[in-house]
Amino acid sequence: MAKLPPPVLIQIRIPMAQFGTVFCDHLAIARFKDGGWGDAAIEPLAPLPMHPASHVFHYASTCFEGFKAYRWQDGKARIFRLHDHVARMQRSAKSLHLPIPDPDLLTGMVEDLVRKQIDDIPEPPSSLYLRPTLIGTLPNIGAAAAPSTEATLFVLASPVGDYFAGGARPLKLLVADTYARSTEQLGSTKTGGNYAAALGPTLDAKEKYGVDQVLFCPGGDVQETGAANFLLISDDEVITKPLDTSFLHGMTRASILALAKDLGYRVNERDFTVQELLEWVATYEAALSGTAATLTPVGTLVYDEREIPVRDGGAGPNTEKLRKALQSIQYGDAPDVHGWLTEVSQ
């Protein structure tokens, strides 16, 4: 029999809808009541009936996670750092005194939802964004100083492309030394209130300076932006703030630091000031890391009414190299030496 030539694969990049606006037609859901979690179910996506006195509406008892599943050429899905995200959600729930999701329950909910929606996962570089969310549902408007003893845990699935409009173009950040990213108590908790706190300063800065994000640097201490962690990168070093309770402990941050070590970079987790930052960006690249942001270059800082380019204002080669190292694992082009992927098939 004549041998056919191998098929020519042409990757066409179809523009995706705006990040987070399109949803799969099912969600995973479980409820906590009378001291225990009920069974999880996969249900058609529909509005949730909620008592208007629910704790979450009044006292912000809510936390969430964000991570991605990728569809490989073998037709199976791979979820990136599922178990680490589940563990972070448990820490967030604990800090908000919400019922802590059982890890097997939440892991199973995510896997079942990915299996159900596997055909909706777009090809890399797009992916399926997964959004587990935990809310306090106790109907009690007197419970400002009491925890919600009832809760709903659900997982949304959303096919996504780039988070920042315009793709991986270098971003512009306002360096703000007046506001903190969050509070000492909640900085490392992935709770909606932290994003609410960043919203006003971010909208003001967008309008006034045309920036993409605000880099929160209270008293000159460089923390993170509203949507991502912040890194400085040279040919042989990555500098980023060490973990403390003032900011979110990003899984992409941790992954980039691990890959940077693998590639021979020195990883320097240290506090640094705005003044140091402004000097260093003459030679260091700057980047934002996050599940949604992946590793996005920063091209310009705005500080004290001045625009300061990061190196030449373009995307740097080391940022590109580290992003590729991460994406190669996520897309199945490099071995998963750290054991970060969870396989799901139909």
Contacting positions for ligand COI (CB under 6 A)? 66, 227, 290-293
- Dihedral sign (CA 312, 251, 272, 185): positive
Q: Which residues contact 226 (CB under 8 A, 6 or more apart)?
A: 181, 195, 198, 199, 201, 202, 213, 214, 216
Closer CB to ligand COI, residue 239 or residue 292? 292
- For residue 309, say if its preceding peptide bond is cis, omega within 30 degrees of 0: no
C-beta separation of 97 from 300 below 8 A: no
Q: How far is the CB of 168 from ligand COI (least distance, A)?
A: 15
In angstroms, the Cα distances linking 104 to 69, 87, 107, 153 are 18, 11, 5, 13
Closer CB to ligand COI, residue 172 or residue 190? 190
Closer CB to ligand COI, residue 61 or residue 194? 194
Q: How far is the CB of 226 from ligand COI (least distance, A)?
A: 7
Closer CB to ligand COI, residue 290 or residue 316? 290
Closest CA to 294 of 335, 263, 249, 326: 326
Q: How far is the CB of 88 from ligand COI (least distance, A)?
A: 11
Q: How far is the CB of 305 from ligand COI (least distance, A)?
A: 27
In angstroms, the CA 95 to CA 62 distance is 11
Q: How far is the CB of 220 from ligand COI (least distance, A)?
A: 25
In angstroms, the CA 155 to CA 109 distance is 7
Q: How far is the CB of 25 from ligand COI (least distance, A)?
A: 22
Closer CB to ligand COI, residue 293 or residue 326? 293
- Dihedral sign (CA 134, 138, 144, 146): negative
Closer CB to ligand COI, residue 138 or residue 241? 241
Q: Which residue is nearest to ligand COI (CB)?
A: 66
